[in-house]
Amino acid sequence: MIENINLETLKKSIYRQKNLFVSIFIGWFIIFGLYYSFVERSYTSSMEIIPSESNQSSSSLLGSFGVNLPIGSSVNYNSSVLYPDIVTSNRLIKKLMHSNIIFESQERQIKDIFLEKYFNKAKKKGVSEYELDLLIIDFFKSNIISVSRNRMTEITTVDIRTFDKSLSLILALELFDIFNYLQLEKRNENLDSQMNYTKLRVDKVSNNLDALQKKKIAFIKSNVDIRSPQLTYELDKIVTEINIEKSIFLSLRDKYEVFEIEKNNLSNIASFIDDPIEPIKHSSPSFRLSFLISLLFLFSIYAILCLRDINFTLPKDYS
């Protein structure tokens, strides 16, 4: 009789355990699915690019200054990838232009000139947002070069209340990026002109040196027996000219090599700036890891409840 009761008790216990397992599993599956979909959606949405006000994608200011990216071509980088809250470039400039920012000396009229030259006329002509971005880029390339780094700091901190607190740093970073790139671009142009000039001088001195060497050889051949002071003086004069040209040549060659090294360094910096910056990647939830942790948690709860159920349902003789 006791065995029958115990058997029935065990059957009921097993049945309850099955129901318990199914209930826990279904609950876990629902909770885990909701959690994973929410976290994954939050992760992917943080990586999305904020669309522009038009169908054309607005370009980031920095991304559009790429070395290998001429104005008018498509842009594959948008700073809104890095900063989901950032406004697109045209609205960014509107904020800048309508703020209380005052540029130094020759830049002080930028706000009025810009509004008059681009926004007002562009809006009247029905220029698209994308085309307006290109005008903005062109304008900044020609007007912001002489603004110093210290002035840039002042610009971004003149009236922080003009912008949202989260945007003030972003604007500062954008301005610094533009400023640094334009300074780099200007330095590149100066370096190119210096290299071209030095290269012309190197070629000229090299030709002079070759001519003097040939003159020396011809002089020696035509005057085999050089004994007179006049001939000796003429030869010394040619040798002196050769030494002078040689020293100039070596100096110019070294200078040109230094320019080449600097040019290479600038190219490396420019390529670094030009490379599309990868989005800040928050740790993407790992499905397998989340699944295993949740499964372990599930079986831990199940084991605890099973042991508790057995202790409460079995008679003392079987406990």
| CA-CA-CA-CA torsion sign (237, 238, 242, 243) | negative
Average pLDDT rounded to a whole number, residues 289-306 = 67
DSSP letter for each residue of the chain: -HHHHHHHHHHHHHHHHHHHHHHHHHHHHHHHHHHHHHHHHHHHHHTPPPP-SSSSPPPPTTGGG-TT--TTS-----TTTT-TTPPPHHHHHHHHHTSS----GGGTTHHHHHIIIIIIHHHHHT--HHHHHHHHHHHHHHHSTT--HHHHHHHHHS-GGGS-HHHHHHHHHHHHHHHHHHHHHHHHHHHHHHHHHHHHHHHHHHHHHHHHHHHHHHHHHH-SS--SHHHHHHHHHHHHHHHHHHHHHHHHHHHHHHHHHHHHHHHHHHHHHHSPPPP--PPPPPHHHHHHHHHHHHHHHHHHHHHHHHHHHS-GGG-
Is the pLDDT at 238 greater than 80? The verdict is: yes
DSSP state letters, 272-316: HHHSPPPP--PPPPPHHHHHHHHHHHHHHHHHHHHHHHHHHHS-G
- Model confidence pLDDT, tens digit, residues 157-170: 443 334 444 444 44
Q: What is the mean pLDDT of residues 63-89?
A: 33
Across 57-65, average pLDDT = 33
Contacting residues for 96 by C-beta, under 8 A, at least 6 apart = 171
Please give the average per-residue pLDDT across 49-71, as a whole number: 31
Provide the mean pLDDT of the chain: 58
| Range of 7-11, 40-44, 94-98, 248-252 with top mean pLDDT | 248-252
pLDDT band at 198 (very low <50, low <70, confident <90, very high): confident
Report pTM: 0.35
Going by pLDDT thresholds of 50, 70 and 90, the confidence category of residue 60 is very low
- Return the higher-pLDDT residue of 117 and 229: 229
What is the length of the chain?
A: 319
| φ/ψ (deg, to 5) at 108 | -70, -25
CA distances from 176 to 3, 95, 114, 302 (A): 84, 16, 20, 58
The stretch 260-282 carries a mean pLDDT of: 58
Write down the pLDDT at residue 291. Answer: 64
pLDDT (0 to 100) of residue 174: 56
Predicted confidence at residue 91, as pLDDT, reads 47
The Cα 60–Cα 66 span in angstroms is 11
Please determine, for residue 189, whether its predicted confidence score (pLDDT) is greater than 70.
yes
Q: Model confidence at 277, in pLDDT bands (50, 70, 90)?
A: very low
Is a pLDDT exceeding 60 seen at residue 83? no
Alpha carbon distance 303, 310 (integer Å):
11
> What pLDDT is attached to residue 284?
46
Hey, where are the domains in the chain? 2-47+284-318, 63-183, 186-274
pLDDT at res. 194: 85
Per-residue confidence (pLDDT) for residue 157, from 0 to 100: 43
Q: What are phi and psi of 298, to 5 degrees?
A: -60, -50
Does the pLDDT at position 43 exceed 70?
no
Q: What number is the average pLDDT over the span 107-118?
A: 49
Which band of pLDDT confidence, cut at 50, 70 and 90, is reported for residue 239?
Answer: confident
